[in-house]
Chain A
Amino acid sequence: MTKMIPPQSVGVVTPQRAEFTTPLALRGGGTLDSYHLIYETYGTLNAERSNAVLVCHALSGSHHVAGTYADAPHNVGWWDNLVGPGKPLDTRKFFVIGVNNLGGCYGSSGPNQINPATGKLWGADFPFVTVEDWVESQARLADQLGIRRFAAVVGGSLGGMQAMSWALQYPERVGHVAVIAAAPKLTAQNIAFNEVARQAILTDPEFHGGHYYEHGVVPARGLKLARMVGHITYLSDDSMAEKFGRSLRHGRNTYSYDVEFEIESYLRYQGDKFAGYFDANTYLLTTKALDYFDPAFEYGGNLDAALARATADFLVVSFTTDWRFSPARSREIVYALLHNKRNVSYAEIDCPAGHDSFLLDETRYHKLLSAWFDRIEV
């Protein structure tokens, strides 16, 4: 190992695989007779097994939360600025777990994995999965690892929804929950953006009803468009103006449909990059899981009633420029918890970067998380 590992890094990590043979009944009506999850861990589980923290990932995230890989030193975990020795989620104190969700495309059972029943790739036949299903599968992983109760479950965006759902599905198994840049359910506008993304994929001629693997192609154009529209919603108007403004690649109008404005270049680049590594079926499944999430639904829309089961201490964080999941949506969660006399703190971080702010190491944000994690007794 000649490569320098930066200070406060968990260093080189290796994904692990857990097998499950007890059938998992899914909310959408399907069943997975057997499945596997890919996960990573950082830090050491203490003798009392009381210091485990589960980090839930968002739409395009994975189990690779922190550190790098020996064979891919530049592949740094998506929340590496948060997790590590001396970082806000300190791996000297906590045993941190990242899991690739069911239906994901980073190695856990999902559309791009073999269906044991047929011996072929699942493709579009992989069943619909929900946030609740993910939590259920994560709980089974915790069982395998001997973790009865998490010190904390944390996540941003869709990951925050999983963290919230943990507090509702397994109140006795989670001490603290951090819900960051999330919402208690999607708005019609959120669903609309997801639907545009899905239509881009579904109408790509190379989608082949989701069985594109068999045709040796990928619906790259659809996936690219989906990412482009998604990406717009992750940034703020201000941050786009700041970063790109109306800057022209050639310094003048060329009156063509080639890249002219820098923002076009950026979106195309992001879209192409994403289409190169992400799976279209996973994108479809995951956006549907987002759309379906609504714990208050079975309580007639009453979020106070829905959150009554939660016993964990909560931290809710939003970002001032996040219009995808605006601060107002986070406040709904906060007030519902308060009305149930649950312990909850809420911060609205002034950050220009929109929804993506939750991935940044903005000083106030990370100080807040440090303070919150510091108070958790393990």
Chain B
Amino acid sequence: MTAYRYDYDVITQWIEPGEKVLDLGCGDGELLRHLMEVRQVQGYGVENDPDKLLGSVRNGVNVIQMDLEKGLVGLEDGFFDHVIMSLSLQAMHNTQGILREMLRVGREAVVSFPNFGYWRHRQSILNGRMPVSESLPHQWFNTPNVRFFTIADFDALCEINGIAVRERLAFDEGKLVLEEPNFLASVAVYRLGLER
């Protein structure tokens, strides 16, 4: 996960001190640990992998075992200031369901994902092979990813679901991309809310 610290930095900038934060797919709790230290958040991670969950406990991070495909049942509406999903959305089947749930329990959602429309990925496909890159490190046969989408696809999904894109930052392997992000960016980080 350390390879993606730039997405952590963006996320951190969007979090105010003392917020209530939920991190979906928190792994060993690295991001939450960071947010606890620099933003004094009251943070909770969600993780369904027992080994990663153990890592979070060892890191002293609150972690709750839950299957995100089943939503966030049991959590109050609007309880969290921010609900984060860092580089995990592409690994979930119930894409729309989890986005809805994130914006139900949180005031804002923060989502980052690898952009399948990145030019190197396109080039790879043109050359006849599925892309493997820093942001898509797995081979097609062992990838945990189950949804393959681009920045443009995600924008369209937000549009039809009444999700407001409040901010979006795009990166090419760590460097900020200002133009043509769907072509030039490997990862995008979104700050989302519900359209009023």
Q: Establish whether residues A345 and B64, one from each chain, have CB atoms under 8 Å apart when the complex forms.
A: yes
Q: Establish whether residues B64 and A332, one from each chain, have CB atoms under 8 Å apart when the complex forms.
A: no
Q: Please give the distance in Å from A358's CB to the nearest CB on chain B.
A: 16
Q: Establish whether residues B64 and A344, one from each chain, have CB atoms under 8 Å apart when the complex forms.
A: yes
The residues of A that contact B20 with a CB separation of less than 8 Å are 341
Q: State A297–B26 Cα separation when bound (angstroms).
A: 35
Q: State A350–B51 Cα separation when bound (angstroms).
A: 12
For the complex, is A364 an interface residue (Cβ under 8 Å from B)?
yes
Q: Establish whether residues B54 and A371, one from each chain, have CB atoms under 8 Å apart when the complex forms.
A: yes
Q: Provide the main secondary structure of the chain B interface.
A: mixed
For the complex, is B132 an interface residue (Cβ under 8 Å from A)?
no
Q: Please give the distance in Å from A248's CB to the nearest CB on chain B.
A: 38
Could you say which of A315, A331, A347, A374 contacts B50, with CB atoms under 8 Å apart? A347
Could you say which of A346, A349, A372, A375 contacts B64, with CB atoms under 8 Å apart? A346
Q: Establish whether residues A375 and B57, one from each chain, have CB atoms under 8 Å apart when the complex forms.
A: yes
Q: Chain B, interface size: which category?
A: 10 to 19
For the complex, is A335 an interface residue (Cβ under 8 Å from B)?
yes
Q: Establish whether residues B50 and A371, one from each chain, have CB atoms under 8 Å apart when the complex forms.
A: no
For the complex, is A249 an interface residue (Cβ under 8 Å from B)?
no
Q: Which of chain A's residues has its CB closest to B57's CB?
A: A371
Q: Which of chain A's residues has its CB closest to B75's CB?
A: A335
Q: Establish whether residues B64 and A364, one from each chain, have CB atoms under 8 Å apart when the complex forms.
A: no
Q: Please give the distance in Å from A335's CB to the nearest CB on chain B.
A: 4
Q: Establish whether residues A338 and B57, one from each chain, have CB atoms under 8 Å apart when the complex forms.
A: no
Could you say which of A331, A332, A339, A374 contacts B58, with CB atoms under 8 Å apart? A374
Could you say which of A332, A343, A347, A372 contacts B65, with CB atoms under 8 Å apart? A347
Q: Please give the distance in Å from B56's CB to the nearest CB on chain A.
A: 7
Docked complex: A324-341 residues within 8 A CB-CB of B = 331-332, 334-335, 338-339, 341
Q: Establish whether residues B57 and A372, one from each chain, have CB atoms under 8 Å apart when the complex forms.
A: yes
Docked complex: B53-103 residues within 8 A CB-CB of A = 53-54, 56-58, 60-65, 74-76, 79
Q: Which of chain B's residues has its CB closest to A349's CB?
A: B50
Q: State A142–B192 Cα separation when bound (angstroms).
A: 51
Q: Establish whether residues A364 and B62, one from each chain, have CB atoms under 8 Å apart when the complex forms.
A: no
For the complex, is A368 an interface residue (Cβ under 8 Å from B)?
yes
Q: Please give the distance in Å from B2's CB to the nearest CB on chain A.
A: 21
Q: Which of chain A's residues has its CB closest to B43's CB?
A: A343
Could you say which of A332, A339, A345 contacts B57, with CB atoms under 8 Å apart? A345
Q: State A332–B76 Cα separation when bound (angstroms).
A: 12
Q: State A343–B62 Cα separation when bound (angstroms).
A: 6
- Given A344-B62, A345-B64, the answer on whether A339 and B54 have CB atoms closer than 8 Å is no
Q: Establish whether residues A339 and B62, one from each chain, have CB atoms under 8 Å apart when the complex forms.
A: no
For the complex, is A348 an interface residue (Cβ under 8 Å from B)?
yes
Q: Which of chain A's residues has its CB closest to B45's CB?
A: A345
Could you say which of B42, B50, B58, B79 contacts A375, with CB atoms under 8 Å apart? B58
Q: Establish whether residues B54 and A338, one from each chain, have CB atoms under 8 Å apart when the complex forms.
A: no
For the complex, is A367 an interface residue (Cβ under 8 Å from B)?
yes
Docked complex: B102-144 residues within 8 A CB-CB of A = none
For the complex, is B44 an interface residue (Cβ under 8 Å from A)?
yes
Q: Establish whether residues A348 and B65, one from each chain, have CB atoms under 8 Å apart when the complex forms.
A: yes
Q: State A368–B49 Cα separation when bound (angstroms).
A: 13
Could you say which of B58, B65, B74 contacts A335, with CB atoms under 8 Å apart? B74
Q: Establish whether residues A375 and B75, one from each chain, have CB atoms under 8 Å apart when the complex forms.
A: no
Q: Please give the distance in Å from B26's CB to the nearest CB on chain A.
A: 11
Q: State A26–B75 Cα separation when bound (angstroms).
A: 36
The residues of A that contact B53 with a CB separation of less than 8 Å are 347, 368
Q: State A270–B64 Cα separation when bound (angstroms).
A: 36
Q: State A339–B79 Cα separation when bound (angstroms).
A: 8
The residues of A that contact B44 with a CB separation of less than 8 Å are 338, 344
10 A-B residue contacts at CB 8 Å? A334-B74, A335-B74, A335-B75, A338-B62, A338-B75, A345-B56, A345-B62, A367-B54, A372-B57, A375-B60
* Residues of chain A at the chain B interface (Cβ within 8 Å): 315, 331-332, 334-335, 338-339, 341, 343-350, 364, 367-368, 371-372, 374-375
Known A347-B53, A374-B58; further 19 A-B contacts with Cβ < 8 A: A315-B57, A331-B74, A334-B64, A338-B64, A338-B79, A339-B76, A344-B62, A344-B64, A345-B56, A345-B61, A346-B63, A347-B50, A349-B50, A350-B50, A371-B54, A371-B57, A372-B57, A375-B57, A375-B60
* Residues of chain B at the chain A interface (Cβ within 8 Å): 20, 42, 44, 50, 53-54, 56-58, 60-65, 74-76, 79
